[in-house]
Chains A and B, each alone.
Chain A
Amino acid sequence: GAGVSQTPSNKVTEKGKYVELRCDPISGHTALYWYRQSLGQGPEFLIYFQGTGAADDSGLPNDRFFAVRPEGSVSTLKIQRTERGDSAVYLCASSLYLGPSNEQYFGPGTRLTVT
């Protein structure tokens, strides 16, 4: 079956520009997570959705970052006024439901480079 997909796979943008990163979760998965992974580090939690609402956005680094999931399926991570420090791989994951046995399934990630 189809896994989690993310587009684009690579994005190069200039400092100060706006970018949108898209995540298509596994069909039927109610929970969706965004992470950011810098070189040589483990993924760092950004935000988590249960259905359409952002249940926990405590990992977003500042107000330049925003994410939506309007219909409870596809999610978009939006970054305004990009900075070079935003360069990283942005990973999306989904799980069937929230619970102790919820297994996260990850997409391949979007590599963002801010020049």
Chain B
Amino acid sequence: KQEVTQIPAALSVPEGENLVLNCSFTDSAIYNLQWFRQDPGKGLTSLLLIQSSQREQTSGRLNASLDKSSGRSTLYIAASQPGDSATYLCAVTNTGNQFYFGTGTSLTVIP
């Protein structure tokens, strides 16, 4: 069974810092990987999706990379803002239907 781990579990940074969130998975034969943001008491908002044939995706201040062979992905957030405070989750699928999530990284950006 695919297992997804996210490190660190929690992160607190001052506003303006660049930061990296890590995601690792045990089975490298993935279909795609998706990064989500979850605000307290809310559902998940999709941030970036990386197909298995891709190495990175960018959206605004966010950049996600994928190293399938080593089972790792990183989410890079540039010039962090207090509004970025949320829990960030990564999810992978091996088949395109069943998705496996990590437990998330709780990010706090201090003004």
Q: Report A's interface with B, CB cutoff 8 A.
A: 4, 31, 33, 35, 40-45, 48, 50, 55-56, 58-59, 91, 93, 98-109
Interface residues of B in 4-25 (CB under 8 A from A): 4
Tell me if B61 is interfacial: C-beta within 8 Å of chain A.
Answer: no
- How many B residues, CB 8 Å from partner? 25
| Interchain CB contact (< 8 A) of A107 among B43, B96, B97, B104 | B43
Report the minimal beta-carbon distance from B64 to chain A, rounded to whole angstroms: 13
Asked if A41 contacts B103 (CB within 8 A), the reply is yes
Complex CA gap A98/B97 in Å reads 7
Interface residues of B in 43-94 (CB under 8 A from A): 43-46, 49, 51-53, 89, 91
Interface residues of B in 28-47 (CB under 8 A from A): 31-32, 34, 36, 42-46
* Complex: chain B residue closest to A48, CB-CB: B97
Asked if B42 contacts A104 (CB within 8 A), the reply is no
Asked if A42 contacts B104 (CB within 8 A), the reply is yes
Q: Report B's interface with A, CB cutoff 8 A.
A: 4, 31-32, 34, 36, 42-46, 49, 51-53, 89, 91, 96-104
B contact residues around A109 at 8 Å (CB) = 42-43
A contact residues around B104 at 8 Å (CB) = 42
Interface centre among A55, A99, A100 (most CB of B within 10 A): A100
Complex CA gap A99/B32 in Å reads 9
Given the known A-B contacts A42-B104, A106-B44, A106-B45, are A55 and B4 also in contact in the complex, defined by CB atoms under 8 Å? no
Asked if B31 contacts A100 (CB within 8 A), the reply is yes
Given the known A-B contacts A98-B96, A100-B52, are A108 and B32 also in contact in the complex, defined by CB atoms under 8 Å? no
Complex CA gap A31/B97 in Å reads 8
| Interchain CB contact (< 8 A) of B98 among A58, A100, A105 | A58
Interface centre among B34, B51, B91, B97 (most CB of A within 10 A): B97
Top 10 closest pairs, chain A to chain B, by CB: A42-B101, A106-B44, A106-B43, A108-B43, A48-B97, A100-B51, A103-B49, A43-B101, A42-B103, A45-B98
